[in-house]
Amino acid sequence: EVQLVESGGALVQPGGSLRLSCAASGFTFSNFEMNWVRQAPGKGPEWVSYISSRGRTIYYADSVKGRFTISRDNAKNSLYLQMKSLRAADTAVYYCARVIPFDIVVDSGVINTGYFDSWGQGTLVTVSS
């Protein structure tokens, strides 16, 4: 059974730092791309960051670029999100999510896409003084 378990959420003051972890089990973690997605209270999910299976390709949402760093340790089956210069707007439940990639064949070629098939239970980050 695929399991993703986030940890590390806490109450932190504005300008502070925090490191989130996501422990993966039930699948070969090193074969899968991973993401962080967050959800502010009463709002919809917001994609935060992506990392390829070997960690060579990384993307960030503009809202966190320069402040958050995604990383992974395939030997430990773990995904991380280092967050610094935290703001009140970063208050949210943070989820890790696994990607299942697939291709769509269209007339003009192939579209590389995928879907987030498994999510953790989330960890709450509250930024407040």
The sign one gets for the Cα dihedral 71, 57, 50, 4 is negative
Cβ 75 to other proteins shortest distance, Å? 25
Q: Would you count residue 75 as binding other proteins (CB under 8 A)?
A: no
Q: For other proteins, give the closer residue by CB, 17 or 54.
A: 54
With H, G, I as helix, E, B as strand and everything else as coil, classify residue 54.
Answer: coil
Rounded distance, CA 97 to CA 36, Å? 6
Closest CA to 92 of 37, 49, 50: 37
Q: Would you count residue 102 as binding other proteins (CB under 8 A)?
A: yes
Rounded distance, CA 17 to CA 13, Å? 8
Is the distance from CB of 57 to CB of 51 less than 8 angstroms? Answer: yes
Cβ 32 to other proteins shortest distance, Å? 14
Q: Would you count residue 23 as binding other proteins (CB under 8 A)?
A: no
Q: Which of 24, 68, 95, 125 binds other proteins (CB under 8 A)?
A: 95
Q: Would you count residue 40 as binding other proteins (CB under 8 A)?
A: no
Q: Which of 3, 17, 25, 121 binds other proteins (CB under 8 A)?
A: 121
Q: Would you count residue 111 as binding other proteins (CB under 8 A)?
A: yes
Rounded distance, CA 55 to CA 70, Å? 9
Residue ranges that bind other proteins, judged by CB under 8 A: 35, 44-47, 50, 59, 61-62, 95, 99-100, 102, 104, 106, 111-117, 119-122
